[in-house]
Structure 1
């Protein structure tokens, strides 16, 4: 019989809620972990993903304890698409585990937490301190990323379009209520529903993360993107201001990234598309809970490569 493989994503941020193993949402994950020692044919490999901070949690300690007791070796990573040339800040924790006698290419990294993608592609110097990036190193990392415009689908409007009238169809509160018809992306002008209403700029403008087509970084998109503007992901300025600051947000004509653009920043393939019945809000929610292919693909390749 062919060996079994396991893929265990942990979909909730237990550490942020400070409940950890006491959180009911961790119950299914803990149940899976506790079953591993009793399996007649345990999986030969495991892949776990979570938010940064999981590595210091009680649930993480339980994960490592059980894996070590069941003859697994582990290597752990904290990686972001920024490290792969994608202008998208989405750092995530990953645990890769192999059951002996299988082994990793860089065995000296066993039981270590690595914050560099280099071990995935080449022999890695265990003495290097690439985790401790200086400000200059971080600047160089960002400069190596592609500009956001490479991931955009919709063209910018002309600079003389009136901001108020163009944004008037996009809702009036931070929790944006829309009709069911507005969830159909084909019923309206493709740009109209993505503009941020001026009332939101007045209330939440100081908390918005604004990026430009030539920016080399944008913030992580959450499942609440498009419903809320605060802390859910970056907004795109479609009109270049004379000065890039928060005093001219109305003139910058901010809009949300479209689902296809968010998918592009997740490195989804060009032929990826949602079924027509999936609403706009549902698309954002699914993307917000998704994984970055630019990060996960080399991790999986590394996991499946025998030493």
Structure 2
């Protein structure tokens, strides 16, 4: 196979670049483009020989794009206009300006790229931006496949459901090669490749302990019983014990947020999505790890509301709850051991840029699929 010339838009910390390396194809990233200064520092450290453009995409002319003569576009446009917890302003959000500019440029390129891969959050699939994307691709002669994929589909114990579109200038349809596919020939509805477990109707709203209902407990039990997914302990940093103190949740945070923490053990086969707020905020930002295996979580939480604050802290501290380290989050997102951060970048900044990134293994599998 000839060396692919790849344009990496919204390059972030280099997740797409690592996915290219992971899938084993000959390639050259002709330009990586991003305006986030922290992400660019991380990218430059890991890929010092790749041209990195610190400029807005809409500031790049058609002539500049044509000079790059690329065969593939990889892109992960800003997700804020489409995320379920945001305002969902869609194309009215100024942060979609660069993406709309790309769609305007694509039909006018001297040589259209043979391959395109796009990643975004769940919510993009029902957006006006997605409709404009699909319309543009069809007018330009692309065939494409849309999928909703979570890392659990490739055996990684982390839920990070994302929208993907893979497209090529070809008559042949791109086929799905992930676990648990839901067959769909229609481009109007993305394929969901991580099936939902059936819901139990009995006692589904009855809180057992913590804030977990019988349904929550059953869902987590089902996830932890899926042997196609690896255990959390396979992704932990063996050197964390020496500096674990800085990642332990402090007493004040335990008191305030204990009931809403998503707690996992090293033997679990599940964790929730890590967001850019991990390490700063608690609710919905990612799982925390229980380090003391001798303590039963259920015993700690049962009757906790009847204890004094001092007793609550004493109980909760026995679990030894800590944040996953940035290295461990990187492991769960499929980044190789060679990936690293500049020494001066703080843990909070590392969490933030990781939360804006993507799962390398999922993208690598999609690239193999696209190029097969």
Q: TM-score normalised to the size of structure 1?
A: 0.77
Conservation of the 8 A alpha-carbon contact between 1:222 and 1:233: yes
Q: Residue 14 of structure 1 is aligned with which of 77, 81, 84?
A: 81
Q: Cα distance, 1:260 vs. partner?
A: 0.9
The equivalent residue for 2:159 is 89
Whole-angstrom distance in 2 between the partners of 1:75 and 1:21: 22
TM-score (norm 2): 0.64
Q: 2:368 aligns with which of 286, 301, 304?
A: 301
**Count of residue pairs brought into register by the alignment:** 261
Supply the distance in 1 between the matched residues of 2:284 and 2:97 (Cα, whole angstroms).
28
Q: Do residues 152 (structure 1) and 236 (structure 2) align?
A: yes
1:42 partnered with 2:112:
yes
Query: Is the 2:116–2:168 contact (alpha carbons within 8 Å) kept by the matching residues of 1?
Result: yes
* SS of match in other structure, 2:163: strand
Q: What displacement does 1:135 show? A: 5.8
1:57 aligns with 2:127: yes
Q: CA deviation at 1:53?
A: 1.4
Relative to 1, partners in 2 of residues 1:144 and 1:4: Cα closer, same or farther, differing over 3 Å? closer
- Residue 272 of structure 1 deviates from its aligned partner by 1.8
3-state SS of paired residue (1:95): strand
SS at match of 2:341: coil
- 1:278 Cα shift? 2.1
1:215 alignment partner in structure 2: 268
In the TM superposition, what is the alpha-carbon distance from 1:249 to its structure 2 partner? 2.7
Aligned pairs for 1:176-195 (under 5 A) are: 190-195=243-248
* Mapped partners of 1:223, 1:3: distance in 2: 31
Residues 1:251 and 2:318 aligned together: yes
> Structure 1 residue 24: deviation in Å?
0.7
Contact 2:150 2:193 in 1 (8 A): no
Of 258, 266, 271, the match for 2:338: 271
CA spacing shift, 1:94–1:273, aligned 2, 3 Å:
same
5+ unaligned residues in a row in structure 1: which ranges? 118-130, 158-188
Native 8 Å contact 2:148 2:163 kept in 1: yes
Tell me by how many angstroms 1:142 deviates.
3.2
